[in-house]
Chain A
């Protein structure tokens, strides 16, 4: 059976799995943003937390993904559904680029800009949302981009624990020793990564501040 025939015959299922895949990546990225950006901001304010937070995120990043799925299996509520488990694991993996880039982006804001802003009487909160976050936006977006591209790839492995997504086709193809089926999962996943990369790259450039 060749690739194109398989795709045409199974377009409904492929679309369904692509949507599942996208869903897992989107939810986990959203969670990682909601947790990672505040943590990144926090460690710019509390230097004592910088190392503990980044070391923890780093260690999580080094755990092999299959092992992480296994570790999370006994967790209450999370472990009941494979989808929840996959989302949690991908969220954890996405934290490092988000925390690190938020920190780096904020620390990279020109000192003269910060000094002038504080000297003119901006409150800490105004400093954050009027100056630091807008000027760090492109670096934070680069972190989101890294996280999304990693997640699209890792989400294929989530099929191993029954979380669905395009990994199902890949694992099925491996079991059947059928390259067409493997490609039917791998090609949409690769396209998804490329498109996300291009879109976020475009946003990143738009938010890059002009330097004098």
Chain B
């Protein structure tokens, strides 16, 4: 429990990127196979650098969510190695690993029987932070994700979709984990709220310097948020590079993806 780095941290402690030579998350020949023998991921190699937003882009069934869940070991890889901060994920204590990695998902998954404040303070409370420290952390986080402090005593069912998602992000950030996993966190929101949250998230990430793995099927979101975009198809990595490289790629699948979204843009533009 009391390894020095797993203890309570200050908000900005991780923004200085120490040990820059070690990547935050590294997939080395990772594969994942279902019990019935179907392969979901083949020989995946991705190197997530500290402080970047790496977007895992792909259509449904491409394996992007599976790849994400291997990182916090909600799923266990069938082959290869996954290094978290240079250390094999299997060597980590699974509970410590998960508390070291923030997790936000599309359905948010707030506890319906907890107030907003208790939801956000979940990890601090199971890590036994003193109440005063946990309370001030909650206030700090509410402000950080653009919510008013008076929302703390309310329950999740009293919030709008956008507010719930902000609370979900605050909860993921509560114990100041250096790595964040986000699985289509803005996917269920209306376009205006989504665009607000995307912009705010981008500036939040610049401020905090977290390493983020972000799953989406939306190319616009990927181009807006990603430091780099990894395109997955049928459990294989098709291409990885900056948004600019992605748009200029000669790869047929990447071009198909870009065209599909470009066409969508034209339809919208023509209306």
Contacts and interface: CB of A to CB of B under 8 A. Distances in A.
A122 B109 contact: no
Contact of B112 (A111, A122, A126, A211): A211
Interface string B73-117: 010000000000000000000011111001101011111110000
A120 B164 contact: no
A110 interface: yes
Interface in B154-174: 155-157, 159, 164, 168, 171-172
Interface string A172-212: 00000000000000000000000000000000000001111
A212 B156 contact: yes
Given A126-B126, A212-B157, A121 B98 contact: yes
A153 interface: no
Q: What size tier do the contact residues of chain B reach? A: 20 to 34
B100 to A, nearest CB: 8
A206 B57 CA distance: 44
B72 interface: yes
Contacts of A89: none
A121 B123 contact: yes
Contacts of A118: 74, 98
Contact of B123 (A111, A120, A123, A135): A120
Interface in A93-115: 110-115
Nearest to B122: A120
Interface residues of A, number: 23
Contacts of A111: 107
6 contacts: A110-B107, A116-B103, A116-B171, A120-B98, A120-B102, A121-B98
Count chain B CB atoms within 10 A of each CB in A111, A114, A118, A121 and give the residue with the most: A121
Contact of B109 (A110, A209, A210): A110
Given A115-B105, A209-B112, A123 B74 contact: no
A209 B98 CA distance: 27
Give the 10 A-B CB pairs with smallest separation, nearest first: A116-B109, A121-B98, A112-B107, A119-B103, A112-B109, A121-B99, A212-B157, A210-B157, A209-B112, A113-B109
Interface in A119-134: 119-123, 126, 130-131, 134
